[in-house]
Amino acid sequence: MRPQPKKPIKARGKVLGGPVPLVCVPLVGRTREEILGEAGNIPAIEPDIIELRVDAWEFVEETAASVSMIRDVRKTVGEIPVILTCRGHWEGGFKQVSDGAKFSLYRMAAAEGLVDFLDVELAYGDEKIRENLAMIRESPVSLIVSSHDFEITPPKEVLFSTLAAQIRAGAHVAKLAAMPRNEEDVLTLLSATLLVRREYPDIPLITMSMGGIGAVSRVTGGLFGSDLTFAVGSKASAPGQIPAADLKQCLSVLYPQ
């Protein structure tokens, strides 16, 4: 059995931290038409969870329009869990988005129960993370605290300390992605994941090594303690993502039902 967290998170019938890692498909359209088109394809793709990358939206600074868009996506995808992500441009976001627009959207989407997870970068610091935790305290929404390095894979000790810092900050889910420069970097990422899973056994983890070299981590990461993997639906949101159908077939071999 793969290493699982002691406190998995249930969202709309899916279990993050269960026996099989969840498959997440990002929606990365820019316009209403593109976003709804991607959402319309979701029932055929059948992911476990979707991620709304609102940092790609042309209208993301318009909070009312963005909330309306999330409502429409929710109607289209039904009871599939949703991660709401507005990735900072300094960590691979599609464009720069003001903090005001980002966190207003987070607050309104969480208050309406439109999403199941919010993603906030560790770089915002403990105070901003605490603010978001307080905002969702009385709701079923969970907070993902994340870190992304699109240049290198830091040493194992740094990867471990980054994930540990996310957990200490109060993350319900800790997430880390790094770019490998060689095969050893992929092993470093997987080894750090396993170490964190053993040292911090409670909460779910999401880790990945990006790019072509790191693609193997998207298939095998669950064996080392990662509880979710990202796949391509219509478009990739990060380098090295595998088409959803292919990824699910690989996972069915590693985790036969």
86-115 mean pLDDT: 95
- pLDDT on residue 234: 58
DSSP 41: H
Give 190's pLDDT tier (boundaries 50, 70, 90). Answer: very high
- pLDDT on residue 240: 62
Q: Using N-to-C axis directions, what is the helix angle for 99-111 and 126-135, rounded to 10°? A: 30
Structural domains of the chain ordered from first start: 9-251 (3.20.20.70)
Alpha-carbon dihedral sign for residues 148, 203, 248, 37: negative
| 33-45 exposure pattern, b = at least 16 Cβ within 10 A, e = fewer | ebbbebbeebeeb
- pLDDT on residue 11: 98
53 vs 51: CA distance, rounded Å:
6
* Helix ranges restricted to H, 112-223: 126-135, 156-168, 183-199, 211-220
pTM score: 0.95
Q: Say if residue 55's pLDDT is above 60.
A: yes
Alpha-carbon dihedral sign for residues 56, 177, 43, 110: negative
209-221 mean pLDDT: 95
Which tokens in the block code for residue 56? 């790609």
* Cβ atoms of 207 and 189 closer than 8 Å: yes
* Cβ atoms of 38 and 73 closer than 8 Å: no
19-41: pLDDT as tens digits: 999 999 999 999 999 999 999 99
CA separation, residue 35 to residues 42, 59, 86, 182 (Å): 11, 12, 15, 35
Cβ count near 130 (within 10 Å):
12
* Cβ atoms of 207 and 195 closer than 8 Å: no
Give 204's pLDDT tier (boundaries 50, 70, 90). Answer: very high
Q: Say if residue 69's pLDDT is above 60.
A: yes
Q: Say if residue 235's pLDDT is above 70.
A: no
155-165 mean pLDDT: 98
166-190 mean pLDDT: 98
Active site residues: 148, 175
